[in-house]
Each structure stands twice: as C-alpha cells, then as structure tokens.
Chain A
Amino acid sequence: MFSLKLGLKNLTRQKRRNILIIFVIAFAFFGYLVMDSLMNGMEEMSFDNIKNYDTGNIQVVNPEYWEDREDLPLENLIYLNQDIVESIKKIEGVLGVSPELRFKANLNNGIDETAVIGLGISFDQYNEVFTTQNYIVEGSMFAPGELKAVIGVSLAELMDLKVDDYITLLVRTKDDTFNTIDVEIAGLVRAPNPMINNGIVFVPLDVAQQALNIGNGVSLLALKTVSGEEERISKSLTDNFKNKDLNLKPYSWKESASSVIALSAAKKGGIGTVLLVVLLIGMLGIINNVILSALERTEEIGMMKALGMREWEIVFVFMIEATGIGILGGLAGCLLGYIGVSWLVKYGFSIGYISGGDASGYGIPILDRIYGIWNYPAFTFLFILGIIIAVLSSILPSYWAAKKDPVKAIYHR
C-alpha cells in the first residue's frame, strides 16, 4: 500500500527530531520496566522476609489473641500438649511447626534500658520454620533451658553489648507482677529482616515460660509449609481444630502482616503512577511530533489535497509515521529495559543510598539490597500499550493537519 510506504519513508525526515523522541520514549519505557522489576523484587523479598523471619507461612493462633496480637498479651495463649504439634505436623505439606512466646520486655545492660520484644523459642523447632540461624554472625544459638539469649547486631550496637555480656530483661508476668530474666548473650544475628536486628531478643522458650509464669503456654504456632499450598493446609487445619474442639485458627502470612497489604497497594499505586507518566510523555512527544511535521509540510499537505486525497488518507500517512516512532521507541525501550532488568536481577540495587542500609523505617522489611525480578508480561504490555497510545495520540493532530484548507495550505497563507 502506497500510503504505508510514504508514512514509513516520512520517518526518515527530521531524523534528529525523530531519534530524539524515540530516545525519550525508550528512556521512559526503560524507567518503567526497571521500576516495575525493582518494585516486584522488593515485594517478593519483603514477602520472603516476612515468611522466613517473622511469621512463617501460616500462624496458628487463638482468634481472641489474634485480635490483640499487637499488644503481645499473655492471655488467650495456646497451652501445648504434644498432640497439637504432632497432629499439625502430620498434615501433608507442613514442613515445620515452631511454638513461639512473644512478650514485652525492657532490656537492661546495667546502664541503659530499652523496650524490646522477647521471643521465646524452642531452637530445634524454630529452625524447622525460620532461617534466622544462618545469620548468626557471632557466637551461637542456645539450647533449651540455658539462660542465654540471641540479639540482633543493631540492638547490640545500640546497647553496647557483645557476646558473653550479661543482660537483664524486665518483664511483667501473667499475674501482673514484675520479674526479670537474667541471660548471657550467646550470639548476635544479622538477618535480612531489619526488624530482627533492631528489637528482638531470642530466649529459650522454657526460660520465658517460667519467668512469665504461664506454664506451657505459647502465643502462637508458626508453620512452614510448601509454598503456595497455604490455602489447602489452612483448610485441613480448620477441620482438624473443629474435630478436636480447639479454639484455634490458621492465619496465612498475608493476613499477619498488615504492612504486606499496604506494601502491595503502594507498589500498584507506584507502578500505576509511573506508567501514567510514561504514557503521558510518549503521548506529548507524539502529538508534538505530528504537529511539527504538519507545520513543516503545509505545502505538501496542500498538494495532497489538490490531488484529491481524502482527509482520512492524509491522516493515515501521519498515523503510520507516528506509529513507526512508537514502535521504534518501544523496541528501543524494551531493549534498554531488558539490559537494565538483567543487571538488577543479577547485581541488585543497593538501598543503602536512600536509607542508610535499613529500609525498615520506610515500612519495608528489607535490608541492604533489592534484587529485580523478571516480569515479562510488563514488556509485552508496555510495548502494545505504547503502540496503541501512539496511534491514538496521533489521530487528533493528524486530523488537524488534514483538515487544512487546500488553498491556504498550498500558498501557506
């Protein structure tokens, strides 16, 4: 088709301007793709961090406890008999069950005091669910019954503590009397989840239970499951608890961290905004380009009209040109994006620059480095959307050009 050929040949006019707008579109695409990759990477890492260091895949909790869980109450606890844990472990897909006792405490190093969260754990079971032990950077974990604790490196730094130092945890027992737990620091942990590094003191579960005077009560059972099977396992758990007449409920990791939902929403909002900006840039670029071309080719448009070309035939020529720019810009952008995302997937992006190495202040449970992840549909989606936008945004200015009065166009009056 001749108009198609003419439209494409017109791409070679005003090379510099066309290349400029192609680059602008390419960089906008690049920005979007890199940002999309990082945001998704951040989300995935945050989710992993929540699952691997905080909640496990599923938490089994008394529903009343769940309501007040932020306050770390010592009521509505789960009183363990071996049978509960064993029967949960029998469900297919459950890889580990870790009882946890969470409590408020003040950490005293003999000089200063700071509020922390105490976490009573049984080391062997904890290891089945969480990977924190891999991040012990000094010393070691503790055995049951030992009067020892593990704390995060940031907390240690803040309180000027080292391995083998002694600390005192001030706690309130279930009966609202004060008690203390005197422990020696067995190890320091530097986990990818900043929450652990900043404010958690791990102590043996039995030590904590004794000090808090709660018998064999625990706050919750954290479960590690085969990833993606959370829903089915939750159902089995619910049935199991109903049969045994236990007032317990499974909560998936998604429900346990309200920040997760906020993060996902923020991600979608962020990506949406960037997408809008990218498309707006492309749109303005294309509109601007069509208008400038039409102004430069006024006499040519006049000639076309004199030859009896219909308006839509002239519009078509301009649209082909604009679409060509959209396609070239989109291709270049996807290529740049491919390179950028490859780099991010391999080397990551240090967020140390924006947060001093700890993004927890931004509500992001990630430390140090975010790695990008591949989101191939984003490439296709952006490319196709880019072309559609190029076509749509060229229609109006093309019509404006094609509507010119032939006499005025020919004589440029």
Chain B
Amino acid sequence: MALLELKKVKKVYRQGKIEVPALRGIDLTVEQGEFTTIFGPSGSGKTTLLNMIGCLDTPTEGEIKLNGNKVSKLSQKQLAMVRRYNIGFIFQAYNLIPVLTAYENVEFAIRLIDHSKELQIKEKVLKILEEVGLKGLENRRPNELSGGEQQRVAVARALVKEPKIVLADEPTANLDSKTAADVVKIMIKMNKELGTTFIFSTHDPAVMKYANRYINLKDGMISTDERRG
C-alpha cells in the first residue's frame, strides 16, 4: 500500500465570478521513504498541491488517500487531527514563534502529541536539534539565529513528532544557495536515517538535484515524473 495516493485531484479557486483552475487532474502515488521534489514555474500549482496533500485544504474533485485512509472529504476538525499526528510542515518563511527559543519552538510541536514526562521530551528535542546541527544554539531565539539556522529549527520542529510525511513548500526560497544546499542536505540525511517521506517544492534547479524523484508541474498538471538514484 502506497503512503500517499491522489486520484484525479482537481482544485478550482473561485474569485467572485471567475474560476481559477489551480490543479486540473493530478494522479500521483508516493511510497514510504521517497524524497520527492515538485518543481515548476510560479503559478503552476505547487503550493496548492502541497496543501491538498498536507490536509490543509480539500480538493474540489478527486480523491486523496493517506496511509490508505481517504482524507479528501474530511471536515476541518478531522483534517486538523490528521495533520497533528501524521504531517510535518516546513514553511518558506520558517514561521517560528519569536518569543520562544529554538528548543521551545521544537518542544511546542512535540507537546501537542506527546504527553510524556519533561525528561523524555527533553531528550527527544535535544537529539533532533543535534541531528540538524544546532547543538549549543538551543537557547537562542529566532532573531539570534541566521536564516539557515532558523530553517533548521523548522526542520527539527517538523521531524520531532516523527510524522509519516514532511511537506516543505519552497523551504529554501529565502536562503542563499549554499545555505539552501545545507538545509536540503540535512533533510536528505533525516530522510535516510528516519525513513521519513519528504515532498518539497522549489523552482531552484540547484536545490532540485538532491532529490530522488522529480515531478514537474505545468498549469496544474503533472508533465513529467522521473525517479533517479
């Protein structure tokens, strides 16, 4: 059974009387442990597709199955629970909470699903922060960290609850190319170590090359889908 299955997924945005078709029939299957990049020009539907997969929104038509369970017709409340336990998000703008330290930003995510004792939580959080290369910076607040470091906190936050799938919408768009490559390398490392499935979107060819599956999106349709490595 595939981790993720999309069948004829369509999404139409309505702006007053105008209908904007953002996705026009997506068929896609993603296996556990894949490291997939979705690329395509701006407006091709990358964000929309990731939002559908991430259960942030529901498709206008078609079906989405996560782990064999149909999620395309769930209510907002049910979707929230699916996200809570199964999905990690990494955002372009990091979206860290400025008043919390790196440690606390990660702790925030794990506390939502794990009600273990302080000590066990601490162990988990410190371990994942070390994995993403932030040992020693745990007590810094976001404004005391560089962009790359902030995005690594966000990676740790997405991974700490050991989700089935991590979705990252243009996670490197705000970073310079070297830092961007570092962040992607960390994601690959985590993918290899934990077997977490990653799907991330980008329009930066330099970042793309690290993935083992490439999906090209054009006008809301998949134009190519290749595996490599």
Contacts and interface: CB of A to CB of B under 8 A. Distances in A.
Interface of A: 2, 5-6, 9-10, 12-13, 299-300, 302-303, 305-310, 313, 406-407, 410-411
Nearest to A308: B84
A298 to B, nearest CB: 10
Contacts of B84: 307-309
24 contacts: A2-B111, A6-B108, A9-B99, A13-B98, A299-B91, A299-B93, A300-B97, A303-B91, A303-B95, A305-B56, A306-B54, A306-B89, A306-B91, A307-B84, A308-B83, A308-B84, A308-B112, A309-B80, A309-B84, A310-B77, A313-B112, A407-B56, A407-B57, A410-B56
Interface of B: 47, 51, 54, 56-57, 77, 80-85, 87, 89, 91, 93, 95, 97-100, 104, 107-109, 111-112
Contacts of B97: 6, 300
Given A307-B83, A307-B109, A308-B84, A13 B57 contact: no
Contacts of B77: 310
Contacts of B56: 305-306, 406-407, 410
B70 to A, nearest CB: 18
B51 to A, nearest CB: 5
A222 to B, nearest CB: 69
A10 B100 CA distance: 9
A160 B107 CA distance: 86
A10 B97 CA distance: 9
B64 to A, nearest CB: 15
A5 B99 CA distance: 10
A299 B95 CA distance: 7
Contacts of A6: 97, 99-100, 108
B108 A2 contact: yes
Of B51, B57, B104, B112, the most chain A CB neighbours within 10 A belong to B112
B46 to A, nearest CB: 12
A13 B108 CA distance: 18
Given A307-B109, A309-B112, A300 B47 contact: no
A13 B95 contact: no
Given A2-B107, A305-B80, A12 B112 contact: no
Nearest to B95: A303
Nearest to A13: B99
Contacts of A313: 112
A299 B96 CA distance: 10
A72 B80 CA distance: 82
A300 B157 CA distance: 14
Contact of A308 (B57, B80, B99, B100): B80
A10 B95 contact: no
B16 to A, nearest CB: 15
A302 B47 CA distance: 15
B188 to A, nearest CB: 23
Contact of A12 (B47, B57, B91, B99): B99
A68 to B, nearest CB: 74
A313 B104 CA distance: 17
Contact of B100 (A9, A306, A310, A410): A9
A12 B109 CA distance: 21
Contacts of A2: 107-108, 111
Nearest to A410: B91
Contacts of B108: 2, 6, 307
A9 B96 CA distance: 14
The list of the 8 closest CB pairs from A to B, nearest first, reads A308-B84, A303-B95, A308-B83, A9-B99, A2-B111, A306-B89, A406-B56, A308-B80
Contact of B89 (A12, A13, A303): A303
B4 to A, nearest CB: 17
Contact of B85 (A13, A303, A308, A310): A308
Contacts of A299: 91, 93, 95
A381 B203 CA distance: 61
A305 B100 CA distance: 18
